[in-house]
Structure 1
Amino acid sequence: MTVYADLTEPEQVALLQAVAARALPAFGLDGGDVTPVLHAYNSTFRVELDGASWALRILVGSKATTQHIAAQQAWQLSLAAEAGVVPVPLPTIDGAWWTGVASEGFGRTAIVTVASWLDGDAIVGDLDAGLARSLGATMARMHVHAETWTVPEDATLPVFDDVLFGDVDALADVPGLAPGDRKVLRLARERAQATLSELHARGGVRPLHADLHAGNLLRSADGLQVLDFDDAGLGVPALDVAIARFYADAPEVHEALAEGYASIAPLPDATDAELHALAAGRQLLLANDLLSSTTASLRADARGYLDTAVRRLAAWLQSGVFTRRLD
């Protein structure tokens, strides 16, 4: 039998769509129509039944444990009750936050979660200054909420004190990588890690979304809606800011993000140079993720993306400014 990682993207989606259909009874959604929405790091499907819709997610590339899922869902519930701008998790009929579906084609038991469907408008392209200002305010509200929210006793969240978020280092031994490129990756990781460790030593760790970018946001009449808590973990607030800056890569957008944040709460304790170092850490994490991915489209792009990452990191090591916009 062909292993999952060697299937084409349509074959992977078809296999996971069948897994999604088998998961429906566990959530009381028997007979729902399952439609693919996004197949990337994880795989998302829309489930429609009796005029209502839900978002069903299969954890494909996620490293989240079931205890992490319990914490993610509990935080979403708390945020939804307070602000109403995040999906509301749907428990199984047995009261669990996930179900497992054994799949020979997938190669392991697939972990499946379900949440309410949000009807906001997708954001096309990068954030502009107006949206960045809204994101800054939304992020600050989440950070203020997280400061006093407590992870349930039967749940845990990963601690983001490592640049690669504790993942296996796939960057250390990439076949065919030039010695100079290996040196760039090593030096970049050392410098980014030193900054992250320094910020953690200052304290203030709390739950973070850790993936706030345009693809995880919807525009609605009530403001921005936030999706995808799969990367949530415990970290310093500056990390969320730096991750958003990585994707919204323009000085005026960075300024707007800070303005929006400051309209709600004091900005995180981090210098601009430290935020650039954390953005470089994000670059290392993404390159590492692609190298270890089983998703067909991501695997195809992994090696080329690594070369791009090396160029960006080399420029940061030289200038102290991380940007994805290289000449």
Structure 2
Amino acid sequence: MTPGPRRYDELDEEGQVEALRPTALDAAEAFGLDVERMEVLLHAYNTTFRIDTRDGERCALRVGTNSKSTPANVLAQQAWQEAIATETEVVVPRSLRSTRDEWFVRSEPAALGRPVLVTAASWLEGDDARDGAGAEWARALGRATAQLHRHAATWRIPEGAALPRFDEPLFGDEDVLSTAPGLDADGRAVVATGMARARDVFARLHAGAEVVPLHADLHGGNLKWHEGRLAVFDFDDAGLGLPVLDLAITTFYLRRSGAEAAEAALREGYTEVLPWPDVAPGDLEALVASRQLLLANDLLGSSTASLRAMAADYLGTTVARLRAWSATGTFRLDVEG
């Protein structure tokens, strides 16, 4: 018997990218892009292609491979991004509209068997700021984060658009981490304790507080550094939350040995524009640690081959980091499982 086609989640990374390529090409046409060359930039949570057009333009096209964003969410993300581009000093890409004057294209890749939304944006020059933890770009990021928060405080979501509310550690996603098969009894207890502590902090901080739009994914992989200037991109995770959550998310990625200067620079840059949020140090640590819970939960539910391969090891790392946080009161990334 001839075996049937392999499911998307059974393909390796190269196979998954190739399975998505026809969707990307169709979407490029829907955005009015005359493609001369298309190559994959990143296949992770979502899948981003670089498009070079025949008239010499370049842009980024993103297939929402694992994105949970609804059409209303994408409308809010793109509208806010456009407002930031025109009303602030923060550098962001300009969103492209389709030939139907829409900010996204709907598609249903045969390999995935479910619909996805595809967006396109102007190209940002420069290198990702993911490598290293330089104080210069961290200070610039602090300033940019404060500028985003200041703008978000007065910006209003357009009619027909919406953003999810981030008032608990998993941002409303199903909790598959607490019952993950790879956890033994001790690991399950560590995760349960960490989750309970984080949920308590989210609940207390949100009680009676006003929420604003947040980028909610400000780390080196979503930043470009070019000629001494920072640019911010990828608003796919945007949602409504407390400003301190954005800062805690960035801080999570700086919690390595040697990054202390960058963490201090982040705070210095932010306070050049706005006061640092009045949150107790222990509560800030819980918000930092909650990022670990969210990422581990996302990996367990991902369809992307490389992320699925990481999930088991990352589960052990998650337990080790949560245990160290419980013992020391400080969350750090340089703790391995």
Class of the TM-score when normalised by the shorter of the 2 chains: over 0.9
After TM superposition, give the deviation of residue 220 of structure 1 in Å. 2.1
Kept in 1, the 8 Å contact 2:183–2:315? The answer is no
Kept in 1, the 8 Å contact 2:35–2:51? The answer is no
Kept in 2, the 8 Å contact 1:195–1:278? The answer is yes
The CA deviation string for residues 38-65 of structure 1, in whole angstroms up to 9 with x for no partner, is 1111000011111111110000111111
Equivalent residue for 2:172? 166
After TM superposition, give the deviation of residue 211 of structure 1 in Å. 0.5
After TM superposition, give the deviation of residue 198 of structure 1 in Å. 1.3
Kept in 1, the 8 Å contact 2:59–2:122? The answer is yes
Q: In the aligned structure 1, how far is the partner of 2:103 from the partner of 2:164?
A: 18
Equivalent residue for 1:62? 67
Correspondence 1:40-189 to 2 at 5 A: 40-49=44-53, 50-82=55-87, 83=89, 85-189=91-195
After TM superposition, give the deviation of residue 94 of structure 1 in Å. 1.1
Q: Counterpart amino acid of 1:158?
A: P
- The share of aligned pairs that are identical, in percent, is 47
Equivalent residue for 1:18? 22
Equivalent residue for 1:9? 13
Q: What TM-score does the superposition give when structure 1 sets the normalisation length? A: 0.97
After TM superposition, give the deviation of residue 102 of structure 1 in Å. 2.5
Q: In the aligned structure 2, how far is the partner of 1:119 from the partner of 1:108?
A: 33
Query: What do you get for the CA RMSD once the two structures are aligned?
Result: 1.4
User: Secondary structure of the residue that 1:108 maps to in structure 2?
Assistant: coil
After TM superposition, give the deviation of residue 124 of structure 1 in Å. 4.7
Equivalent residue for 2:291? 282
Kept in 2, the 8 Å contact 1:24–1:32? The answer is no
Does 217-226 or 165-174 show the bigger shift? 217-226
Q: Counterpart amino acid of 2:43?
A: H
Q: Counterpart amino acid of 2:105?
A: T
Kept in 2, the 8 Å contact 1:126–1:248? The answer is no
Equivalent residue for 2:322? 313
The CA deviation string for residues 122-151 of structure 1, in whole angstroms up to 9 with x for no partner, is 225232222211111110000000000001
User: Secondary structure of the residue that 1:288 maps to in structure 2?
Assistant: helix
Does 52-61 or 101-110 show the bigger shift? 101-110
Q: Give the length in aligned residue pairs.
A: 327
User: Secondary structure of the residue that 2:108 maps to in structure 1?
Assistant: strand
Segments of structure 1 that go 5 or more residues without pairing to the other structure are none
After TM superposition, give the deviation of residue 326 of structure 1 in Å. 2.5
After TM superposition, give the deviation of residue 271 of structure 1 in Å. 2.0
The CA deviation string for residues 80-103 of structure 1, in whole angstroms up to 9 with x for no partner, is 112250011101111111111222
Equivalent residue for 1:29? 33
2:249 is equivalent to residue 272 of structure 1: no
2:312 is equivalent to residue 296 of structure 1: no
After TM superposition, give the deviation of residue 104 of structure 1 in Å. 1.6
- Shift of the 210–84 alpha-carbon distance from structure 1 to 2, 3 Å rule, reads closer
After TM superposition, give the deviation of residue 298 of structure 1 in Å. 0.3
Q: What TM-score does the superposition give when structure 2 sets the normalisation length? A: 0.94
Q: In the aligned structure 2, how far is the partner of 1:58 from the partner of 1:173?
A: 30
Kept in 2, the 8 Å contact 1:141–1:264? The answer is yes
Equivalent residue for 1:196? 202
Kept in 1, the 8 Å contact 2:90–2:147? The answer is no
Q: In the aligned structure 2, how far is the partner of 1:192 from the partner of 1:145?
A: 28
Q: In the aligned structure 1, how far is the partner of 2:132 from the partner of 2:21?
A: 30
Q: In the aligned structure 2, how far is the partner of 1:84 from the partner of 1:136?
A: 11
The CA deviation string for residues 15-73 of structure 1, in whole angstroms up to 9 with x for no partner, is 11221001122111144422111111100001111111111000011111110000000
Kept in 1, the 8 Å contact 2:9–2:305? The answer is yes
User: Secondary structure of the residue that 1:148 maps to in structure 2?
Assistant: coil
Segments of structure 2 that go 5 or more residues without pairing to the other structure are none
User: Secondary structure of the residue that 1:46 maps to in structure 2?
Assistant: strand
